[in-house]
Chains A and B, each alone.
Chain A
Amino acid sequence: MEQADLQRLFDSKIEQEIRIEPKDWMPEAYRKNNLRQISQHAHSEIVGMLPEANWISRAPSLRRKVALLAKVQDEAGHGLYLYSAAETLGTSRDEMLEDLNSGKAKYSSIFNYPTLNWADIGAVGWLVDGAAITNQVALCRTSYGPYARAMVRVCKEESFHQRQGYEIMMSMAFGTPEQKQMAQDALNRWWWPALMMFGPNDSESPHSQQSLNWKIKRVSNDDLRQEFIDKSIPQVEYLGLTLPDPDLKWNEERGHYDFGPIDWEEFYRVISGNGPCNKDRLEARNKAHNDGAWVREAAMAFAEKRQTNVA
């Protein structure tokens, strides 16, 4: 087929909501755009394990410990589903891991904030996973088949993540005054970074329109952020906590909550490597990767030996 015909076929599939599959022809820019988004998403799942893993051994009860352990294990799985989806676009797992470990690849800036105490684990499950779910539900309809299928699996697993986080917040918010204060403090620190997870404003996000046209993204950054804010407010009210935003108020006309300005300078500072934990995260990633090298090598040597014995 001629290039122009291939392009027409691709465009009509996008138009008719027919998913693009790995062996289908696709424009190079579409491939690259997907690869960047999916690999960044995968890296976020992997780095996202670090702030929580920090608290597994210090969970206050066995119930909390098994929940957190299961959640962190899920996130490893999410990373794997996404790396697999990215690999169908013609890159290797090792290249992606190398880009992550060298600091070349980006991951969600939220994971560069520290989890200072147990209430943070509640706030992370509730808000960070909550924001991720809002984003991922929309991505279940993304135009690249392997990415959409990965998102469907991820969304099925995610909902307990948010609920276990909210449960932690409930027991603290309804606990002693000191516990309630800890819950409030965690909410204060995580609220704004959680809102930044949806990315820059639509007006500042030049690639966004192309992604929406290709249906890689299905809902714009600002619309997703608004949806998340509207959903969160009754949850905050139930806890008897307050959001660290004096401008927050219901707008009858819009049918949405208005909210105050986001500190985008902070966002760009953290994403460009100068957040509170960027260095720690990369060091932990590299240490885990290097410490595991002998295991990977031994497993491969064992597999090869077994194969020669059979042959």
Chain B
Amino acid sequence: MNSKNWPLFEVFIRSKNGLSHKHVGSLHAADPAMALENARDVYCRRNEGVSIWVVPSDHITASDPGDAEELYEPARDKIYRHPTFYTIPDEIGHM
């Protein structure tokens, strides 16, 4: 294209009511309305969804994989956050 590239949008689809929208891919479009139409054409040709979100890709703030340690490591030794940390007698049944 001569002057301007169409911006990139990320596409999220709810496959059926009761489930959340899930990222399925991305596409270029001139504006959000066209992104929605194109998302329908490329990502919903076989009843894949009942609802579509499109989000300009540059509006997404993502974590840096380099920060993984400080972001996720502290959770790893907090095993008391899990039910299996606590001992409950078999006699009382499922808890």
- CB <8 Å contact, A94 and B25: no
- CB <8 Å contact, A1 and B66: yes
Classify the interface of chain A: helix, strand, loop or mixed. helix
Is A77 among interface residues, defined by CB-CB distance under 8 A?
A: yes
Classify the interface of chain B: helix, strand, loop or mixed. loop
Q: Which residues of A contact B42 (CB under 8 A)?
A: 76-77, 80-81
Q: Which residues of B contact A81 (CB under 8 A)?
A: 25, 42
Nearest CB in chain B: distance from A139 CB, A: 16
Is B34 among interface residues, defined by CB-CB distance under 8 A?
A: yes
* Interface mask (B17-30 → A, CB under 8 Å = 1, otherwise 0): 00000001111101
- CB <8 Å contact, A84 and B65: no
- CB <8 Å contact, B34 and A94: no
Q: Which residues of A contact B70 (CB under 8 A)?
A: none
- Given A1-B66, A74-B45, A77-B42, answer yes or no on A296-B6 (Cβ-Cβ < 8 Å): yes
- CB <8 Å contact, B31 and A306: yes
Cα–Cα distance between A81 and B34 once the two chains are bound (Å): 17
- CB <8 Å contact, B8 and A87: yes
- Given A84-B25, A93-B28, A94-B1, answer yes or no on A299-B65 (Cβ-Cβ < 8 Å): no
Nearest CB in chain B: distance from A9 CB, A: 9
Is B5 among interface residues, defined by CB-CB distance under 8 A?
A: yes
Q: Which residues of A contact B46 (CB under 8 A)?
A: 157
Nearest CB in chain A: distance from B26 CB, A: 5
Is B4 among interface residues, defined by CB-CB distance under 8 A?
A: yes
Q: Which residues of B contact A150 (CB under 8 A)?
A: 25
Pick from B1, B27, B34, B62: contact of A80, CB below 8 A: B27
Report which B residues bind A (CB closer than 8 A): 1-6, 8, 24-28, 30-31, 34, 42, 45-46, 62, 64-66
Report which A residues bind B (CB closer than 8 A): 1, 21, 23-25, 70, 73-74, 76-77, 80-81, 84, 87, 92-94, 149-150, 153, 157, 293, 296-297, 299-300, 302-303, 306-307
- 9 shortest A-B CB distances, which residue pairs? A303-B31, A299-B30, A303-B30, A77-B42, A84-B26, A300-B30, A24-B65, A23-B65, A296-B1
Q: Please name 8 pairs of A and B residues whose Cβ atoms are closer than 8 Å in the assembled complex, sorted by A.
A: A1-B66, A84-B27, A92-B5, A93-B5, A94-B1, A153-B24, A297-B3, A302-B30
